[in-house]
Amino acid sequence: MKLLLTVSISILLIFGCSKPPQNISNNSTETVLGTIGDSAMVASAHPIASQVGADIMKNGGNAFDAAIAVQFALAVVYPVAGNIGGGGFAVIRESNGNVASLDFREKAPKSASKDMYLDSEGNVIKGKSTIGRLACGVPGSVDGMFELHKKYGSMPMDQLIQPAIILADGGFPLTQNEASNLNRFQEEFKMQNNWDLPTMRESPWKEGETMFYKDLAVTLAIIRDFGKEGFYEGIVADQIVKDVQSGGGLITMDDLATYESKWREPLVGNYRNHKIISMPPPSSGGIALLQLLQGTEDYPIGTWGHNSAKAIHTMTELERRVYADRATYLGDPDFYDVPQEMLLSESYNEERFLDISAKSKTPSSEIKEGNVEMIESVETTHFSVVDVDGNSIAITTTLNGYFGNKVMVKGAGFFLNNEMDDFSAKPGVPNQFGLVGAEANAVAPEKRMLSSMTPTIVEKDGELLMVVGTPGGSTIITSVYQTILNVIDHEMTMQEAVNAEKFHHQWLPDLILIEENRFAENVVDDLTSMGHVIDVRKQLGKMDCILVHPDGTLEGGSDYTRGDNTSIGF
């Protein structure tokens, strides 16, 4: 098995992935198809991680085995967001239609407190929740993978971790994107660490260079040999605690030893005769997505045309209201009574969207006041897997910012998260995504911070139709929303839906973000005349999705235009 995986990864490195997407032109009127597989597919942020997952399934593993292997592989080849030092969420649909969701989100350390990011005058101290050791929540990813394996795994766990060990120890070639990510954060690596990280270098990293993570290989081998205790107890836990506490962080051995993933009832809703299965709190993703879809059902979005001014205006007005609800009502349900039923009820949403005007925008200040700055960086990663039996899983996982808090655990070789910034440090003051929050998402010991991650599975007529997700911080929800509409209302292929230009509105700041140079001038003019303020972003989202075609074949739609995202199927 070990040999098989080594050989397969080498083949990929030499020949690239099989059946690449067809026709990459944006302007073409021809159908653009993603990677086609007869029966199984992995779509992830990195070609090597996708290959690892596909190999696991070729060797008899199921979708859940493959997902575990992909999670560990991404921690090596995609350390900007792939992780063992972060957390995430999984939405699961078994081939028999049973659904589940797993919360392996980070939690606040036991000594965390509501005002820990405020100065003596009650103002937020800039950077304290985003960079360095105090920004770090207790990691959940390793526990999550073991929990997933306990319930759904079919292959021995050591075989699922082994490909990541081989990559970390034996090295792998850097992509252009990964090389430039490493170059971009050299200063932060130096500032936050007092030792020579494998990611640090005087001369710039270049595409094709071999990257090794020797310490990480040892850490992964300890996890392989000792199970999750290999991470949450013993030498690795000791390394985490020593490093975190050396810089004023709060995580203790007890915080690590008591971390637990949680199985939660997934959210299930409907959209134009499709069943939508998504993530409940502490992610806001599922509730917000279902609210947006409920609001959209009243409008013939498909006949208005994809990204017509009318469609963007209407979707923006829905987003404005839904994100205001997100800021007010959502937080960790174990600490705050989230009014989930109310937010998802038809009567509430009918009333909520009643004042949307077809002609002009509603200023966000009229919906609820706030005081915000601009959105900054967005990084997380998502992957989707479907196996030969039709089991499927959508996982979104994160360190929060690029390379998390920029701290690599000394001796253990992996980056820690800066997820504490997803709490609301002070009601009404925005986090790094420009998101504001309220009491529902205030910091508290052992509480999970609110997330926007939206791993989602769509069913049609009782059968699996689509597995969807993306990184992008606060923009995750709106990218998943648009991608679902692109397939259902605009009848796009999976790849077209992923490639399509995206926009985003989140109530505050009161502006529509659009992808640079992707929207027609007359559409922007029409939106401006309705009162909307437009701002541009280089790109929004990096989707990794899978669509089941009517003939049963699978189409992987991976965002190869915005990242290294790659689907591999067979």
Binding site for ligand GLY (CB under 6 A): 380, 398, 400, 422, 451-453, 473
Please, which residues have CB within 8 angstroms of residue 7's CB and are 6 or more apart in sequence? none
Please, what is the minimum distance in Å from the beta carbon of residue 472 to ligand GLY?
A: 8
Between 62 and 396, CB nearer to ligand GLY: 396
Between 101 and 380, CB nearer to ligand GLY: 380
The first and second tokens of residue 543, run together, are 């989707």
Between 469 and 473, CB nearer to ligand GLY: 473
Please, what is the minimum distance in Å from the beta carbon of residue 123 to ligand GLY?
A: 23
Between 194 and 377, CB nearer to ligand GLY: 377
Short-list 452, 477, 468, 473, CA closest to 543: 468
Q: Which of 35, 175, 314, 380 is catalytic?
A: 380
Distance, CA of 467 to CA of 381 (rounded, Å): 14
493 part of the active site: no
Distance, CA of 163 to CA of 157 (rounded, Å): 11
Q: Please tell me what DSSP assigns to residue 460.
A: E
For residue 400, the SS3 value is coil
The first and second tokens of residue 401, run together, are 């910012």
Please, what is the minimum distance in Å from the beta carbon of residue 434 to ligand GLY?
A: 12
Strand 463-468 vs strand 544-548: parallel, antiparallel, or unpaired? antiparallel
Please, what is the minimum distance in Å from the beta carbon of residue 380 to ligand GLY?
A: 5
Between 400 and 558, CB nearer to ligand GLY: 400
Nearest 5 degrees, angle CA 34-CA 473-CA 282?
Answer: 110
Strand 392-398 vs strand 381-386: parallel, antiparallel, or unpaired? antiparallel
Kindly provide the residue ranges of all beta strands, DSSP E only, lying in 230-310, ordered along the sequence. Answer: 262-264, 267-271, 274-278
Could you tell me if 397 and 86 are in contact, meaning their C-beta atoms sit under 8 angstroms apart?
Answer: yes
The total of other beta-carbon atoms located within 10 Å of residue 514's CB is 23
Between 62 and 479, CB nearer to ligand GLY: 479
Please, what is the minimum distance in Å from the beta carbon of residue 350 to ligand GLY?
A: 28
Please, what is the minimum distance in Å from the beta carbon of residue 300 to ligand GLY?
A: 31
Nearest-CB residue for ligand GLY = 451
Distance, CA of 464 to CA of 212 (rounded, Å): 39
Distance, CA of 280 to CA of 344 (rounded, Å): 11
Residues annotated as catalytic (active site), given as ranges: 380
